[in-house]
Amino acid sequence: MKTLLVTGSSGLIGSEVCAHFGTELGYTVHGLDNNQRAAFFGAQGDNRWNQRRLERDIPGFVHHELDIRERERVVALVAELRPDAIVHTAAQPSHDLAAKIPFDDFDTNAAGTLNLLEAARRGCPESPFVHMSTNKVYGDAPNRIALTELATRWDYADPAYARGIPETFSIDQSKHSLFGASKVAADVMVQEYGRYFGMPTCCLRGGCLTGPNHSGVELHGFLSYLVKCNVEARKYTVFGYGGKQVRDNIHSLDVARFIAEFVAAPRAGEVYNLGGGKGNACSILEAFALAERHTGKPQVHAYVDAPRAGDHICYYSDLGKMRAHYPRWDITRSLDAIVGEIAAAALGRHADGMRA
C-alpha cells in the first residue's frame, strides 16, 4: 500500500487531499498539522474539528502533531515514513496577517518549506513533492494589465490575457505583501529542488481555493467567509475597487484531483496556475448575489474605500498548461455548485449552533 504525507492536513486543501488519497485512491495517509491556524486566526480558525473528521472517516489515517519549523523532527519523520509522495499545504496563508507576524510568516512559509524539501531529498528523493504556492507570487503586477470596467466586475481589456494569467507572467518587481514574498521564496526553492536536484517537484499557484471544509476568517478564505457572513447576518466589509474585484474560485476537490494526476505522472520543477479559470471567476458583488440566491438571506455589507495592500483588481488563472500536461483533468465543480455547497454547509453549522 502506498503512503502519502500531507502537511497542513487539518486545513482546507490538506484535508481534501487526505480524504481523496485515503478513501478514493487507497493510500495510507499521514497528516502533519499543529493547528497553527488557531494560533494565527484565533478560535474561528481552529481546525481540530477537521482533524477529528479525518481520524474518524479515513481508514488508517495517522495524525502527527508537529510544527514544520521543527527542522530535526521534520527530517526524522520523513526519514521514518519514506512516503511515496509529499503534499505540502501547511502555511501562514494570509497576506494581511503576514505584516503583523513577519518572522512567523517567513519561518513557516519559506523555512518550513525548505525543511520539507531537504527532508524529502534525504529520505525519499524519488517521491513526487507537490507544493501549494499562490498567485500572490505575481505580486500586484496583474494590476498593470489594462482593464475594462463592466457593470458588476473588472475584466482584462488586453486580449493577451483573455484566457487569464499564464505561468510565464513575471513574479519580479511588484508589490507582493510579506506573505507573497515568503511564498515566492518557497516557490523558487521548490522549483530549484526540481531543476538542481532533479526531484519531481511542482508548485501550484492557487487562485481562490475553497470548499465547505474551510474555517473561513476575514483575513483568509474569501467565499467561505463571505457565505458565513451571509448566513449569520454578519457585516462583510469590502475593501476598495467598488466590490468589482475578480477572483477565480476552485473547489478543493478539483485541487486534490489535479494533485493526484501530478503524483501519478510527475515532472520536475514544474509550475501551474491552479484556479477556477475564467469560467469560475466572479467579483465580490457577484458573489453576494450568488450567496443570497443560495441562502435566501440578504448580504449585509459595508464598503471601505481603500484596497488591501497588494490586492488584485482582476485575477483569473489561465488553465491551459494544466489541461495540456494533464488532459484527464478539468474543473468539475462550477462556481454556482461551489457556492451552493458552501451555503448548505454554513446553513447546517449555523442551525446546529442555534440549537446548541
Q: Is 93 in the site for ligand NAD (CB under 6 A)?
A: yes
Between 47 and 245, CB nearer to ligand NAD: 47
Q: Is 323 in the site for ligand NAD (CB under 6 A)?
A: no
Of residues 43 through 62, those in contact with ligand NAD by CB under 6 A are 47
Q: Is 311 in the site for ligand NAD (CB under 6 A)?
A: no
Bridging pattern class, strands 154-156 and 147-149: antiparallel
For helices 335-355 and 222-231, the axis angle rounded to 10 degrees is 50
Q: Is 11 in the site for ligand NAD (CB under 6 A)?
A: yes
Residue from 2, 63, 69, 308 touching ligand NAD (CB under 6 A): that is 69
Three-state DSSP at 69 gives coil
Three-state DSSP at 178 gives helix
- Spatial contact of 139 and 315, defined as CB atoms under 8 Å apart: no
Between 206 and 266, CB nearer to ligand NAD: 206
Cα separation, 264 vs 124, whole angstroms: 16
Beta bridge partners of 164: none
In angstroms, what is the minimal distance from the CB of 224 to ligand NAD? 8
Bridging pattern class, strands 270-274 and 62-64: unpaired
What is each CA distance from 180 to 110, 129, 134, 164, in whole angstroms? 11, 21, 8, 20
In angstroms, what is the minimal distance from the CB of 41 to ligand NAD? 8
In angstroms, what is the minimal distance from the CB of 205 to ligand NAD? 8
DSSP state of 207: S
- Spatial contact of 231 and 96, defined as CB atoms under 8 Å apart: no
Residue from 36, 115, 143, 201 touching ligand NAD (CB under 6 A): that is 36
Cα separation, 299 vs 140, whole angstroms: 28
Find the part of the chain contacting ligand NAD (CB under 6 A) among 28-36, 141-149, 228-236, 332-340. Answer: 28-36
Residue from 29, 54, 90, 137 touching ligand NAD (CB under 6 A): that is 90
Q: Is 199 in the site for ligand NAD (CB under 6 A)?
A: no
In angstroms, what is the minimal distance from the CB of 43 to ligand NAD? 13
Residues 6+ apart with CB under 8 A from 52: none
Binding site for ligand NAD (CB under 6 A): 8, 10-14, 33-37, 47, 67-69, 89-91, 93, 108, 112, 132, 134, 206, 208-209
